[in-house]
Structures are given as structure tokens and as C-alpha cells.
Amino acid sequence: MVRPLTPLVVYAGPGKPPVAVLPATELGGPTWVPVVQSSPGWERVLLPSRPNRATGWIYTAAADRSRLDTRRSTYLVRIKVGARKLSVYHGGRPLGTWTVTVGAPGTPTPTGRTFLLALLAPPHPTYSPLILPLGFHSDTLTTYGGGPGTVGVHGWPNPSVFGRAVSHGCVRVPAAALRALSLIPLGSLVLITS
């Protein structure tokens, strides 16, 4: 994973035109993105933007290394939408599996490879003490709750929703799962399958 220490230009490919800027902070915290491919002097990263699963290349030659922080995460979060299950792994070892809520048929939870974008602790939580936005957006909603339709993982006060497909695309999890997820480094991979 990499974190830009200052805003960093994102390119369409090694030596290709710039397409975006990766900010140093995202949602009030450091921006960590997973590296999905490397080439000499370049790294391809997942981006927290539309369309989902978007990637871009950042220049990582020695001269630019001072502008990056790097880390390795051995955590993986797997969400199986059809089974309504979320599992956390560390170093390939399962840490727990929980029954969760996923998106309703009209507002499905998007599938594919994404990552933990942020960890938010609302000052006056209404439904969850923590919210973990992902690098994904709803495929059906362009906005939600005043934001850009970001899909996240969060708790829910009523356990009767677990095992159902009733959310606006977010994944609602029990308290034990939320505690486990809160310990995972930002930028860690999340694989969502149907």
C-alpha cells in the first residue's frame, strides 16, 4: 500500500498523460491505497473514485520516494453478498466470519476489488459508532446522505436486519465484526463477490 505525503499525480499508465490527483488526506485521514501492479519506477493503485475498480499509475522512482509512505498489509476482508457473510483474514488465517446485511435489489452492494478508505467515528452516532467507507460507490445512487454515494461498512442497532438484503448498498455488520474491522490498516484489500 502507498500513502502520498503530498498530493500526487495519477497517470493513465507509465509515461502516459495525467488523469487525476491522489490527495494526501481523504475523509479527514491519511489516504492509503493498495498497489495492484508494479513496473520499474511506477505502481498501479486502486483509486477511491468512480467508476468502481478504477486504477491509475503513480510515479515512484527514487526521486519521488520522499513523497510516499509505504506499508504492507496482510489483512483481507471478504464479503459474499449472496451468502450475506463477511470474513476477516490476517496472513491468510481466518479471524472471524459474521452474518451481515447487504444492499437491497434496487440498491445492490457493488462487487469487485476495493479497499478500506477511511475510519470515521461520528461525534453523535445514530446507527453506528464507526463507519468504514470503502473505495467504492453505489452503482445506482449518485448521492446519499449528503455525500457522493460512497459504499461503506458500519454497524446497525437492530440485529434483525442481519442476513437480509435491505440496505442502500452499504454492508451492515454486528458489533464484533465492527471491532475487528476497526483494527485493520487503511488501504487493506476488500474483495466483494456475488
pLDDT in tens, 93-136: 999 999 999 999 999 999 999 999 999 999 999 999 999 999 99
Instruction: Tell me what the pLDDT averaged over the chain comes to.
Output: 95
Stretch(es) of the chain classified as CATH 2.40.440.10: 75-193
What long-range pairs does 174-181 form, CB within 8 A, spacing at least 24? Answer: 174/98, 174/99, 174/100, 176/96, 176/98, 177/86, 177/88, 177/96, 177/98, 177/100, 178/128, 178/129, 178/130, 178/153, 178/154, 180/88, 180/95, 180/96, 181/77, 181/88, 181/116, 181/130, 181/132, 181/153
- The pLDDT, as a whole number, for residue 63 is 53
- The pLDDT, as a whole number, for residue 32 is 97
Stretch(es) of the chain classified as CATH 2.30.30: 2-70
Cell of 31: 489516504
- The pLDDT, as a whole number, for residue 66 is 72
Pick the CATH number of 75-193 from 1.10.260.40, 2.40.440.10, 2.30.40.10, 3.20.20.140: 2.40.440.10
Average pLDDT over residues 162-175: 98
In the predicted structure, residue 62 carries a pLDDT above the cut 70? no
Fold of domain 2-70? SH3 type barrels. (2.30.30)
Residue 116: strand, helix, or coil: strand
- The pLDDT, as a whole number, for residue 157 is 95
Average pLDDT over residues 174-184: 98
Residue 17: strand, helix, or coil: coil
Say which DSSP state 178 is in. Answer: H
Residue 64 binned pLDDT confidence (cut-offs 50, 70, 90): low
For 25-56, the pLDDT digits (tens) are: 999 999 999 999 999 999 999 999 999 999 99
